[in-house]
Amino acid sequence: MTDNNGNLQHAEPYKSSSDCAIDRGSLAFLKTKLETRAGDNVMSVHVTAVPVKLASTAIGLIRTILPNDGGVDLQHLRRFAKYHEVNDHVRSAYAKVAPRNDGHIVFVIAAPMAITTRKFLADSLSPTLGSLVFFSIDVPLQAPTSQEQAALWSSRWWPTVYKKSNPFGPHPSIMARAEEDIEGDVRKWMDMAAEVAQQSKAAGFGEAVGVVIVERINGVSRPVAVAADARWLNWPSPGPGNVSAHAALRAIDMVSQWVRRSHEAGEKQEITTKNVGIFRGKPSLPLEEEHYRAQTNQTGYLCHDLEIYCTHEPCVMCSMAIVHSRFGRVVFENRMHTGGLCADGGLGHGLFWRKELNWQLLAWQWTRPTADTGFGFDQLRISDNRNACDELSSRADLNA
């Protein structure tokens, strides 16, 4: 945003929750590609009904004749359930083979239909359990990834158990600890990303997209790179602009310069102010410059375990750059139909957690507090910063 004289200005500094009561917004962990695929996958199973007192005997016999359930994992399903514990779908299937409902029976999952027949089960179980009837139903193929999903599947198919695990993504305990780490200051970094995005838009450098890279050590976080989109910076238009100057790529390039220099010549080595290439990694905006020399303590692979906060879901190219740079966490505010992180919408790639890639990271979408409904980058509170911005136009000429 600019003042009455056309000068680009800073937003007012963010106030932490210790300064005033603030709604921090909400974080929603992204679903992985496997989670979205597993949602409605079912398998058909043989079910029988036995007297309540014989339920344990029936399970023991089944495990004897079909060790490990024929290699099919049924641990997420309750193996037996009472009549009042199942839904109408199961009761209706039972009624077709047993005209009289008996409250003294329990239903038992005998085996997946893919591995055996009703005749084999009847011949193996009836000598001990007596005359049996069998019917088939569909049950969830994979384990649920939340208590809510378990409840939904129980009402739709068969009593299902959530064991606080996620076979299709990061373990829930890892997600919970990570979210606890970042929830206190996520709004601070997202507001900073929004501010630099507005600076770029106002200066005509690029679209209103911004990112902040954060280093968190022993619970203390600090920004190590701030960058905005600069696709129009000394680039002909119309067209898509310089796709290598997207905000995420510029921020990664800024970090890489410090890491490279510290490896080559020690941390005291100065960074050149000359042309830094197609990524436009030289800071060109006040907020970028303010945090450009906040050197990281990185000693490993580029952005290993750093956090990146984005105003918008990164595109496929930037998402892959984030993965290859080995960030630990990524948070964005606005979904994009061309984004590369989400698996349950848009392009559906879910690149943050793909087993075929050599790195996975945690990813969230952040929703602004209710009080910020209708928030736009042009609504940021602005304070005067005339001196820092007077030379923006001339600097654009230096960034080829």
Residue among 208, 183, 200 at smallest CA distance from 27:
183
Instruction: Tell me what pLDDT residue 370 has.
Output: 77
Residue 98: phi, psi to the nearest 5?
-135, 100
Question: For the segment 341-378, what is each residue's pLDDT rounded down to a tens digit?
Answer: 999 988 999 999 998 999 999 999 999 987 765 555 44
Q: What one-letter code names the amino acid at 190?
A: M
CB 296 within 8 A of CB 259: yes
CB 317 within 8 A of CB 243: yes
Residue 173's Cβ-side half-sphere holds a number of Cα atoms within 13 Å equal to: 3
Out of 3.40.50.2300, 3.40.50.970, 3.30.200.20, 3.40.140.10, the CATH code matching 10-32+173-396 is 3.40.140.10
Q: What one-letter code names the amino acid at 387?
A: N
| C-alpha 367, offset from chain centre | 13
Instruction: Tell me what pLDDT residue 373 has.
Output: 57
Q: What is the mean pLDDT of each run of 10 residues along the chain (400 residues)?
A: 40 38 80 79 93 92 92 91 92 86 84 94 94 94 86 94 83 90 95 96 94 93 94 81 92 83 55 56 82 61 88 97 96 96 92 93 93 54 35 37
* Rounded Cα gap, residues 94 and 107, in angstroms: 9
Instruction: Tell me what pLDDT residue 397 has.
Output: 37
Instruction: Tell me what pLDDT residue 383 has.
Output: 31
Give the start-to-end residue ranges of the domains of the chain. 10-32+173-396, 42-168
* Chain length of the chain: 400
CA distances from 106 to 80, 88, 96, 343 (A): 6, 15, 16, 40
> Using CA of residue 112, residue 116, residue 119, residue 124, what is the dihedral sign?
negative
If you compute the radius of gyration of the chain from its CA atoms, what whole number of angstroms results? Answer: 29
Residue 290: phi, psi to the nearest 5?
-60, -35
